[in-house]
Structure 1
Amino acid sequence: MAGMLDAMASSEVLLHPVRMRIVRAFLGDRALTTTQLAAELDDVPAGSLYRHVALLADAGVLRVAAERRIRGSVERTYTLAHAAASLGAAELAAMTPEQHSQAFLAFVAGLIADFDRYLAAGTPDIVRDGVGYSMNAVWLTDTEFLEFTRDLATVFQSRLANAPGEGRRRRVVANVILPAPDKP
């Protein structure tokens, strides 16, 4: 399998819809066994899930954090290798418009599926749970835009270090930044 991974671009590894869901499950510095992951992604067949986890581990996206013997087999606990779980600027630049369209579609489809699961999990309380979705437009020069993205990164970075704890709930924050089309 390692030979296959050498030939496979990390974009091909990461941009598969099921593998994107697996990566999202680990966000927030979570450590999960495949059994725990299977419980969260209960609509993914077990054999398929194990193959995707193995591929992500072989690609260095998931790391084995612990192993323990259970009835003659080894249960592995995985964590996310953040650097390997994102595409670099060179990979993004090399992608075709069709590949970007497929990647964005998988991203949005994952968000829709997560939202549907949230709604189906009981009686949702959008206000209590802090759920939000909105769209805004801002007018920024290129310099102002760089400052804006740096400000966002600073806000996120200071909170990414938060560990799970009493009163803390894991929240997934997704953002999309799109430029408006140039005027004709």
Structure 2
Amino acid sequence: MATADLFLHPVRMRILQALFDADPLTTSQLRDRLPDIAPATMYRHIAVLADGGVLEVVEEKRVRGTVERSYRVREEHVVIDPAARAAMTREDHLRAFTTFAASLMADFHRYLAHEDANPTSDGVVYRQAAVWLTEEEFAVMIEEIESAVIARIGNARGDDRIRHVISLVAVPDQPRTEPRPDPGPDAGAERMSD
């Protein structure tokens, strides 16, 4: 598991998103997918992710006197350590969410930059809904959503399959408050008679 600092940078997050559930890619291939990132910046952040154990080199080959490496994400290291997450401040969370949102914006912009992009026919979905849930119901819902996505992560690449990036954000409308003490069976009757 990695620390939050590894992921709290928009370029590193975009590199990871480009590599999620993808075949290993070289730096050159990553630059093709993320052309707005300067080469020196790309190399620097790939090195940070590799040194942090988040990326692993799966192949090295000599190309014109240099070594070209192919990278893939080490799935077990793309989760922020629970202790590090618990130690994050509100400012850290704001920074993490801003980085996450910025990477979503960059992905959407990259998609729309394709001449043949058609959000309606391509099935682009961005929706928001509000639901009232107990803590247990919320945990079950998140587990159901994650299970639905995880069950499809292993799908083999095929001619009829298109890679989709699925993002999940769940934000409470307000912070949790301490449970109120049980007022007893007669309290409701008194309120009803007022």
Q: Same fold (TM over 0.5)?
A: yes
Greater CA radius of gyration, 1 or 2? Answer: 2
Give runs of aligned pairs for residues 88-99 of structure 1, distance below 5 A.
Answer: 88-99=81-92
Partner residue in 2 for 1:149: 142
- Which of 162, 165, 169 is the equivalent residue of 1:172? 165
Determine whether 1:127 maps to 2:120: yes
Q: CA–CA distance in 2 between the matches of 1:123 and 1:79?
A: 29
Unaligned runs of 5+ in 2: 178-194
Partner residue in 2 for 1:139: 132
Give runs of aligned pairs for residues 13-32 of structure 1, distance below 5 A.
Answer: 13-32=6-25
Q: CA–CA distance in 2 between the matches of 1:29 and 1:49?
A: 18
Identity over the aligned pairs, expressed in percent? 43
Tell me which amino acid in the other structure corresponds to 1:180: D
After TM superposition, where is structure 1 displaced by more than 4 Å over at least 4 residues in a row?
A: none
Q: CA–CA distance in 2 between the matches of 1:137 and 1:176?
A: 12
1:7-48 CA-to-partner distances (Å, cap 9, x unmatched) read xx7211111111011011101243100000011111111111
If each structure's helix is expressed as a fraction of its own residues, which one has the higher value? 1
Partner residue in 1 for 2:104: 111
Number of aligned residues: 176
Q: Secondary structure at the match of 1:78?
A: strand
Partner residue in 2 for 1:3: none
Q: CA–CA distance in 1 between the matches of 2:158 and 2:57?
A: 23
- Which of 160, 163, 169 is the equivalent residue of 2:156? 163
Partner residue in 2 for 1:5: none
Determine whether 1:54 maps to 2:54: no
1:66 to partner: Cα distance: 0.9
2:27–2:43 Cα contact (<8 Å) kept = yes
